[in-house]
Amino acid sequence: MPKLSFFVFLLATIALVVLCSLSQPMGSKMPALGSFFSPFTGFWQNAEAIKQVEHLDLQMPDLQGPVSVRFDERLVPHIQAENLVDAMMAQGYVTASLRLWQMDMSTRATGGRLAEILGEDLLERDRLQRRKGILVTADRLWKRWQDKTEEKACIEAYTKGVNLYIQSLSPKDYPLEYKLMGFQPELWSPEKCMLFLLSMAESLCSRNYDIPATNALKYFGEERFRFLYPEYNPKQSPIIPTSVQWNFDTLSLEREPVFPVEALSEYISTPTLPNPPEGIGSNNWALSGQKTASGYPILCNDPHLGLNLPSIWFEIQIITPDLNAYGVSLPGLPGIAIGFNEYIAWGETNVGQDVLDWYKINWTDDTKQLYWLDGQAVEVESIVEKIQVKGKKQPVLDTVKYTQWGPIVYEEASSDYQDMAMKWMVHQAPGNRPFYELGAFLRLMKARNYDDYSTALKGYGLPPQNFVFAAKDGDIAIKVNGDFPLKRQEQGRFVQEGNSSANDWQGFIPKEQVPQVRNPERGFVASANQHSTDTSYPYYYNGGFDDYRGRYINQRLEAMQSATVEDMMALQNDSYSLKAEDALPLLLGILDASVAEHKGHPAVQNLRTWDKRFEGWSTAPVLFEQWYKEAYRLTFDEILENEINLLHPEDWRFIDMLAQTPSDELFDIKTTEQKEQAADVVLLALDTVLKQLDTSQTWSELQQFSVQHLARIPGLSHLHLPLNGYGEAPNANKPGHGPSWRMIVAFGEKNTAYGIYPGGQSGHPGSPFYDNMIDKWAAGEYDPLQFWTSSDFETAKGIQTLSLHP
């Protein structure tokens, strides 16, 4: 009897232990409960003590000299080193110690290695990343960087720093998310730095509308296509003022427009490569001393990116004998991406120019191994991607075919896709440059004047950015900078024939001929993702551009005199939208000219007195947005509800059509008997919207603004934030996207700088610095940024010092 009960208990105990040791037991999303709950190994170990140790010493054998890292009261590390390479090693260590899981996860996601840790559900996502050629490109990029001694040394030092941190961890120290998701950190590598660079390129310069545009051209015919989808809004206020003359010898190139795929007998069914979410954009501007109260320039920047926890930005100051710079870095890349020093400040917004084109491939036969190019049969180069999947012994193999143009992204045996190759600037080896992207940032960090800034940008290629600049000595400038293809008229707007190399890009726009301006007469430079230039710029470019923020910011800056830091803060937080200013009078005008009963509806009356600011507490923007969207949807029903993938007309075009061509046949709703005009559509839209409108719902309730954890883990996100803002307003808050870093640098006798981002310096949910800046950011407030000189180092107030010894 005792024997039996012993074995019963023993078995029961072992069974329970095993059950609680399984990660994601029985298909659930749960972690291995035993080690997760054990306070010796699990999540309790991630409850960081609020009171930090004041001083830590650490051996880092690869350092050349001692490095001191002092964290200020906002947990911003100020790194003081004897040389740049040591500083980069410290940056790697410090960044990993606060953001390791995020660095690991974002590079895995970009390279297509998620299924390895999360299982088969992520396999298709991984496959797509691989088929875009990203992992292959990261390896190639790093090979290419080998000849740039300084950048190579910095990347290697950063890698060492990250790995030193990883190697110091035992499983109980792993960041919380590893314990929740059941995987382990793996060592960092230079290729991962390249992957991170590519992740930025992917979110910023992979927009492509070639397929829906080609279909729309066939569907509507050329005349209607040009009417519906003009490339340039005449109201546009471009980045480079229209007064600028292009005083350079334009390269001669084939001017003939390339026409889309000849003999396009059928619509293209191949999927459009997913575009980065709408809402990725940014504002930046610089005022010269003539427009500021202090008489010194002010520079502002607020990049609009995905708002997540941990945040995409990490604040840092780096001091070496050669440089002293403060700003935000990207966890995964050494250096500072947006920032300032004693003499200059710089910032970026994204350039919308299209650098991703599709080419139709003509196979010689059904085996799809040879394709026609200039009358020759050319063989594809096949690369086999190995994708590891959690729980599977063998990796999944996927063969990707590379043509002269690039990889064939979508190829499914069972589909009737037209096989197309993706030509992407990101795949091209960087041209012969004195240095690359990291070298550009390192030079900006130590720049002292316009010439240094201008030199630094020569090494920068991707993703193309509008680099704004201001210097204490009075200069301001902006440069639409990066690698841009030389295109013929309308080249890359549509899918092109891949059987002739004459259809290829004709080279690149020379660096000195990119759109740029220094000290324009109007006393300011600014960009908000709008068109780089007016139509007089000698080279053709296409892409997706903002029509409202840029125009509004230019108007506001034009009118501004004696500007102060407070004025700049107000403009960054300004939720006024020109889109509402353009559209609302048209909508209300149509309503008032009609006999409709809704004229006196309280919600409509509310809208009449609305100031066109998208404030979180306001209810008026809810009706505006829904009314506008419904009118757009009803107007373009034949486009939006079509099974053919057709390009969506831009907002400004729709608003112009309401005003100028109200009897256009597009206003007719296909599903009704009668023939509608603009007025009918607008009234019907209002009727539909009012029927279901919750008149007490505020703008922020409708938008459900949030800052979510990267892996969407409940409890680690901030949901339902009472934010102001609108995608088409300077304060460009959209659900999940928005101003990811607001920075203002005011030069003066003594410079001052302000900044804030929706997150915190630490990526650890157990840290008080995980989300400490969110509320302040949401309220539109700023923190003063502490720019230290090396003598401040001893006296400045900090919460922790880390001494690194060789």
Partner 1 sequence: MKKGILFLVAFLILGAVAQMFLAWWSLVVVAAGLAYFFQLPPLRAWGWGWLGAALLWGGLAWWLSQKNDHLLAQRIGMMFGGLPPIGLILITALFGSIFGGLGAVCGSLARRMY
State both tokens at 437: 């992207």
Does position 45 interact with partner 1 (CB under 8 A)? The reply is yes
Residue number with CB closer to partner 1 (13 or 536): 13
End-to-end CA distance of the chain: 66
State the nearest-atom distance from the C-beta of 733 to partner 1, in Å: 24
Does an H or E element contain 442, and which?
helix 437-446
Region near partner 1 per CB under 8 A, out of 451-459, 728-736, 763-771, 780-788 = 763-771
Residue number with CB closer to partner 1 (112 or 182): 182
Residue number with CB closer to partner 1 (174 or 505): 174
Q: Which of 26, 27, 50, 265 binds partner 1 (CB under 8 A)?
A: 50
Q: How far is CA 503 from the centre of its chain?
A: 30
Region near partner 1 per CB under 8 A, out of 576-584, 737-745, 765-773, 787-795 = 765-773
Q: Are strands 752-756 and 742-746 parallel, antiparallel or unpaired?
A: antiparallel
Residue number with CB closer to partner 1 (6 or 248): 6
Q: Which residues in the 589-648 window bind partner 1 by CB under 8 A?
A: none
Residue number with CB closer to partner 1 (2 or 274): 2
Q: Is 220 in contact with 665 (CB distance < 8 Å)?
A: no
Residue number with CB closer to partner 1 (176 or 408): 176
Q: Which residues in the 4-23 window bind partner 1 by CB under 8 A?
A: 5-6, 9-10, 12-13, 16-17, 20-21
Quote the CA–CA distance of 290 and 701 in Å, as a whole number.
42
Residue number with CB closer to partner 1 (45 or 532): 45
Q: Which of 2, 61, 234, 375 binds partner 1 (CB under 8 A)?
A: 2
Of 99, 191, 80, nearest to 146 by C-alpha is 191
Q: Which residues in the 768-787 window bind partner 1 by CB under 8 A?
A: 768
Q: Which of 228, 682, 716, 746 binds partner 1 (CB under 8 A)?
A: 716
Region near partner 1 per CB under 8 A, out of 47-55, 468-476, 553-561, 610-618 = 47-55
State the nearest-atom distance from the C-beta of 266 to partner 1, in Å: 50
Does an H or E element contain 450, and which?
helix 450-457
Q: Is 150 in contact with 442 (CB distance < 8 Å)?
A: yes
Of 656, 655, 684, nearest to 668 by C-alpha is 684
Residue type, 103: M
Of 531, 579, 524, 518, nearest to 557 by C-alpha is 524
Q: Is 122 in contact with 114 (CB distance < 8 Å)?
A: yes
Q: Which of 594, 598, 766, 783 binds partner 1 (CB under 8 A)?
A: 766
Q: Which of 19, 44, 429, 608 binds partner 1 (CB under 8 A)?
A: 44
Does position 282 interact with partner 1 (CB under 8 A)? The reply is no
State the nearest-atom distance from the C-beta of 315 to partner 1, in Å: 21
Does position 232 interact with partner 1 (CB under 8 A)? The reply is no
Of 323, 415, 410, 419, nearest to 370 by C-alpha is 419
- In sequence order, what are the residues at sequence separation of 6 or more whose Cβ sits closer than 8 angstroms to the Cβ of residue 241? 517, 520, 521, 522
- Cα radius of gyration rounded to whole Å, the chain: 28
Which residue has 């792993």 as its token pair?
Answer: 174
Residue number with CB closer to partner 1 (181 or 253): 181
State the nearest-atom distance from the C-beta of 33 to partner 1, in Å: 7
Residue type, 683: L
Region near partner 1 per CB under 8 A, out of 40-48, 322-330, 399-407, 670-678 = 40-48
What is the secondary structure of 129-163 as a DSSP string? HHHTTHHHHHHHHHHHHTT-HHHHHHHHHHHHHHH
Q: Which of 19, 37, 173, 617 binds partner 1 (CB under 8 A)?
A: 37
Does position 41 interact with partner 1 (CB under 8 A)? The reply is yes
User: Under rule CB under 8 A, how many of the chain's residues touch partner 1?
Assistant: 39
Region near partner 1 per CB under 8 A, out of 43-51, 210-218, 454-462, 572-580 = 43-51
Torsion sign over Cα 521, 522, 526, 527? negative
Residue number with CB closer to partner 1 (642 or 706): 706
Residue number with CB closer to partner 1 (456 or 716): 716
- Three-class SS state of 553: helix
Q: Is 93 in contact with 164 (CB distance < 8 Å)?
A: yes
Q: Which of 27, 51, 149, 414 binds partner 1 (CB under 8 A)?
A: 51
Residue number with CB closer to partner 1 (717 or 801): 717
State the nearest-atom distance from the C-beta of 9 to partner 1, in Å: 5
Residue number with CB closer to partner 1 (37 or 248): 37
Q: Is 728 in contact with 712 (CB distance < 8 Å)?
A: no
Q: Which of 153, 293, 644, 713 binds partner 1 (CB under 8 A)?
A: 713
Q: Which of 23, 24, 25, 34 binds partner 1 (CB under 8 A)?
A: 34
Q: Which of 211, 387, 564, 765 binds partner 1 (CB under 8 A)?
A: 765
Residue number with CB closer to partner 1 (9 or 232): 9
State the nearest-atom distance from the C-beta of 32 to partner 1, in Å: 9
Region near partner 1 per CB under 8 A, out of 28-36, 264-272, 739-747, 797-805 = 28-36
Residue number with CB closer to partner 1 (46 or 208): 46
State both tokens at 114: 């998620």
Q: How many residues does the chain have?
A: 806
State the nearest-atom distance from the C-beta of 41 to partner 1, in Å: 6
Of 163, 237, 180, nearest to 24 by C-alpha is 180
State both tokens at 253: 């190139």
Of 486, 377, 340, 376, nearest to 425 by C-alpha is 486
Q: Which of 27, 600, 602, 714 binds partner 1 (CB under 8 A)?
A: 714
Region near partner 1 per CB under 8 A, out of 38-46, 223-231, 263-271, 661-669 = 38-46
Quote the CA–CA distance of 375 and 501 in Å, as a whole number.
10
Burial bucket for residue 266 (CB in 10 Å: 0-12, 13-18, 19+) = exposed
Q: At what angle do helices 678-692 and 578-592 cross, to 10 degrees?
A: 100
Residue type, 92: G
Q: Which residues in the 167-226 window bind partner 1 by CB under 8 A?
A: 176
Does position 53 interact with partner 1 (CB under 8 A)? The reply is no
Residue number with CB closer to partner 1 (11 or 659): 11
Q: Are strands 55-59 and 800-805 parallel, antiparallel or unpaired?
A: parallel
State the nearest-atom distance from the C-beta of 38 to partner 1, in Å: 4
Residue number with CB closer to partner 1 (51 or 750): 51
Residue number with CB closer to partner 1 (47 or 640): 47
Region near partner 1 per CB under 8 A, out of 36-44, 102-110, 312-320, 383-391 = 36-44
State the nearest-atom distance from the C-beta of 759 to partner 1, in Å: 15
Q: Which of 23, 43, 272, 452 binds partner 1 (CB under 8 A)?
A: 43
Does an H or E element contain 419, and which?
none
Does position 47 interact with partner 1 (CB under 8 A)? The reply is yes
Q: Is 235 in contact with 652 (CB distance < 8 Å)?
A: yes
H-only helix segments in 20-148: 33-37, 84-111, 115-118, 123-131, 134-145
Quote the CA–CA distance of 529 and 352 in Å, as a whole number.
6
Does position 49 interact with partner 1 (CB under 8 A)? The reply is yes
Quote the CA–CA distance of 389 and 386 in Å, as a whole number.
10
Q: Give Cα separations from 292 to 65, 423, 449, 561, 755 (angstroms).
A: 43, 45, 20, 6, 19
Angle at 232 between CA 226 and CA 236, to 5 degrees: 150
Residues that bind partner 1 (CB under 8 A): 2-3, 5-6, 9-10, 12-13, 16-17, 20-21, 33-35, 37-51, 176, 713-716, 765-768
